[in-house]
Structure 1
Amino acid sequence: MSPLNSTFFINDDIVHPDFFFISGLAGIPHTNYYYIFLGFVYAVTVLGNTFVMFMIYSDHCLHSPKYIVVFNLALSDLCGSTAVIPQVIDTFLFKSHLISFEACLTNMYFVLGFLTMQSFTLTLLSYDRCVAICFPLRYNDLVTHKSILLIIAILWMIAGMAILIAVMFISTLSFCKSTVVNSYFCDHGPIYLMACNDNTPSAVIRWTHPVLILWLPVPFITGTYICIARALLKIAASERLKAMKTCTSHLILVSVFYFPLCFTFALASIIHRNARIINLSLSTVMPPMLNPIIYSLKTEEFTESIKKLYRRTMIHITVRKK
């Protein structure tokens, strides 16, 4: 059946299609290699983020407010990748381009919701680093387990409600023409543009989401690092280097997550559609894979925790052999 000839069902003067046709990667050459790459990325993402969560849960030395935030980042990365990659592989590798209207809205909710939460968590990590370096004597008072858990809960509610509102407005639109979604998932922008009734609320939301994940977090993170830089100039060189090392992993995470997204959004109107889709898909799937690797290699506390786990494992194996 042609995607342009989808059947429609009408409910209270709102026309919804039975399905959408996800066209995203269909016209891009050599995509089979890209699906193999995505499968590898997903496997590393699942193993890496599961390992990070296991280490934080099992090692009491990592039961600090900072690592509660890192645990939340790993959880968001794992869930976000699970919402994107299996669906993309199923859609394009196995030619399952059709997705029901309800399943499409569900996919939209989880992909955008977890993407928003990843951005929020990176922003919260910058707050943690700023307080630790700028107000070291007050860190234990300002950043507590209770306050961090409360902030994380509030951020989850904001992300969940913001995307729920976006999905609810999509459900009020009528689609009486094309049902072809020019993206690799049920993306909000391409879908609301296909509506044949008033889509003004969705258009407003279309510009609100980048504000949530980019234009508010990026200036906030930039501001925290300006404060950190000013604080570092006031301390001794040896202490300065030690403090800078604690920020290295977070700066890499921020660069990996925000730079590709900023590039894609800034040049969306001039780059080719296929290039935009590939860039956006890579921006979505690569940070969750790289984050646990970066934390494992660049964070001293986490590295020490891994070494302790390795020593305990080797001792246990030696005892069993005896």
Structure 2
Amino acid sequence: MDELNHTTVTYFIFLGLTGNQALELALFVFFSTLYLLILAGNLLIMVTVACDRSLHTPMYFFLGNLSFIDICHSSVTVPKMLLDFLFPQKTISFHGCIAQLFFLHICACAEIFLLTIMAYDRYIAICYPLHYLSFMSLKVCTWLVGAVWVGATIHSLVQTVLAIQLPYCGPNVIDSFFCDVLPVLKLACTDTYFTEVLIVSNSGMISLVCFLALLLSYVVILVSLRRRTAEERRKALSTCAAHLFVVTLFLGPCLFLYTCPTTRSSTNKVVAIFYTLVTPVLNPVAYTLRNEEVKASIKKLKNRKKVISLWK
């Protein structure tokens, strides 16, 4: 704790995405639109799943939770980034930076764990359909989601403690548009090699293990589908394709950032934008455009609103 007393930095300065003010205004409009789409698309899925009893199944229970995590994940970084586009000086307090780092890792880790559980859910549904309801009861699903948040919180606490126990007494410029562990560690006025190894191992191992578990589950699913009818294969592959698309979009950038930590900052910024903005926008699209049940439920929800408005 003595090292904490040597921390004299009270705020950090973001370099942001670009130094061109005209380009920043254009990016503000573009990313504001994306953020509104994230909120609208994911809220629509959450409301649809909550209101339609036919969607009260484990798969859609997890999908609703994924939409909630996507909203939280993007909201940790995007509003601050949008605000910074409007000002030449992009600052964040030391404690605000640590808070952003903490909640960023909670949401990112929760999403990785939840995507893994969703793959397990599909594995049980396709390979053991007769035992599905007993294996994936509401109680089990609730416990799994609770475990997701507990595991994510533990991971985030480890990352945050490793970062905050270092002294920060020199430079305070972060070459990014938000606070993440690795860019912040570069500003510590002490040797951070061992800490960086621990952090990269922690985050990289979680991403890699979950990704391999996902791949293994889908290999088993594909093998089991050979004995099914063409219609069963089509339905299963449609659901699995959407999930695999989302997994690749999210876990790919995470694996890149934490298995290649020495890449150029400009590349890291592009990758970071991808998993904080692009993936949460595409998740609702991936799960609704290819899912007839969700589209039918959205239509029913619209018709219900029309009926209510007519009565009024």
Calculate the TM-score normalised by the size of structure 1: 0.88
Partner of 1:45: 38
* Alpha-carbon shift at residue 36 of structure 1 (Å): 1.7
Quote the Cα distance in structure 2 between the aligned partners of 1:12 and 1:39. 37
Quote the Cα distance in structure 1 between the aligned partners of 2:114 and 2:282. 15
1:78 to 46, 65, 71: 71
Partner of 1:278: 270
Q: Note if contact 1:16-1:101 (Cα within 8 Å) is conserved in structure 2.
A: no
Q: Note if contact 1:253-1:291 (Cα within 8 Å) is conserved in structure 2.
A: yes
2:201 to 199, 207, 226: 207
Between stretches 277-286 and 308-317, larger displacement belongs to 308-317
Cα 1:132–1:83 change in 2 (3 A) is: same
Partner of 1:162: 155
Cα 1:241–1:11 change in 2 (3 A) is: closer
Quote the Cα distance in structure 1 between the aligned partners of 2:216 and 2:111. 19
Q: Deviations over 1:66-93 (max 9, x none)?
A: 1111111011000111111001112233
* Alpha-carbon shift at residue 160 of structure 1 (Å): 1.0
1:303 to 280, 284, 295: 295
* Alpha-carbon shift at residue 26 of structure 1 (Å): 3.9
Partner of 2:189: 196
Q: Deviations over 1:143-170 (max 9, x none)?
A: 1111111011111011112111221222
Between stretches 162-171 and 221-230, larger displacement belongs to 162-171
* Alpha-carbon shift at residue 21 of structure 1 (Å): 1.2
Q: Note if contact 2:12-2:94 (Cα within 8 Å) is conserved in structure 1.
A: yes
SS where residue 7 of structure 2 aligns? Answer: strand
Q: Note if contact 2:4-2:165 (Cα within 8 Å) is conserved in structure 1.
A: no
Quote the Cα distance in structure 2 between the aligned partners of 1:94 and 1:282. 23
Q: Note if contact 1:65-1:143 (Cα within 8 Å) is conserved in structure 2.
A: yes
**Please, which runs of 5 or more residues in structure 1 have no aligned partner?**
1-9
Quote the Cα distance in structure 1 between the aligned partners of 2:80 and 2:111. 19
Matches within 5 A, 1:49-64: 49-64=42-57
Q: Note if contact 1:188-1:206 (Cα within 8 Å) is conserved in structure 2.
A: no
Overall identity of the aligned pairs, in %: 28
Q: Deviations over 1:214-273 (max 9, x none)?
A: 201110110010010010012222322222223232122123223344455556545x42
SS where residue 15 of structure 1 aligns? Answer: coil
SS where residue 227 of structure 2 aligns? Answer: coil
Matches within 5 A, 1:241-260: 241-260=234-253
Calculate the TM-score normalised by the size of structure 2: 0.91
What RMSD over aligned residues (CA atoms) do the two structures have, in Å? 2.2
Quote the Cα distance in structure 1 between the aligned partners of 2:82 and 2:3. 32
Q: Note if contact 1:24-1:182 (Cα within 8 Å) is conserved in structure 2.
A: yes
Q: Deviations over 1:44-102 (max 9, x none)?
A: 01111111111111111111111111111011000111111001112233234121111
**Please, which runs of 5 or more residues in structure 2 have no aligned partner?**
none
Q: Deviations over 1:150-193 (max 9, x none)?
A: 01111101111211122122221111221111221111001112
| Alignment coverage as a number of residue pairs | 309
* Alpha-carbon shift at residue 314 of structure 1 (Å): 3.5
- AA in 2 matched with 1:21: I
Q: Note if contact 1:130-1:225 (Cα within 8 Å) is conserved in structure 2.
A: yes
Partner of 1:134: 127
Partner of 2:6: 14
Quote the Cα distance in structure 1 between the aligned partners of 2:259 and 2:38. 27
* Alpha-carbon shift at residue 13 of structure 1 (Å): 3.9
Quote the Cα distance in structure 1 between the aligned partners of 2:163 and 2:256. 27
Q: Note if contact 2:109-2:155 (Cα within 8 Å) is conserved in structure 1.
A: no
Cα 1:119–1:224 change in 2 (3 A) is: same
Q: Note if contact 2:38-2:280 (Cα within 8 Å) is conserved in structure 1.
A: yes
Quote the Cα distance in structure 1 between the aligned partners of 2:7 and 2:70. 35
Cα 1:255–1:165 change in 2 (3 A) is: closer
Matches within 5 A, 1:93-132: 93-132=86-125
* Alpha-carbon shift at residue 108 of structure 1 (Å): 0.7
Q: Note if contact 2:10-2:93 (Cα within 8 Å) is conserved in structure 1.
A: yes
* Alpha-carbon shift at residue 318 of structure 1 (Å): 4.8
Between stretches 46-55 and 166-175, larger displacement belongs to 166-175
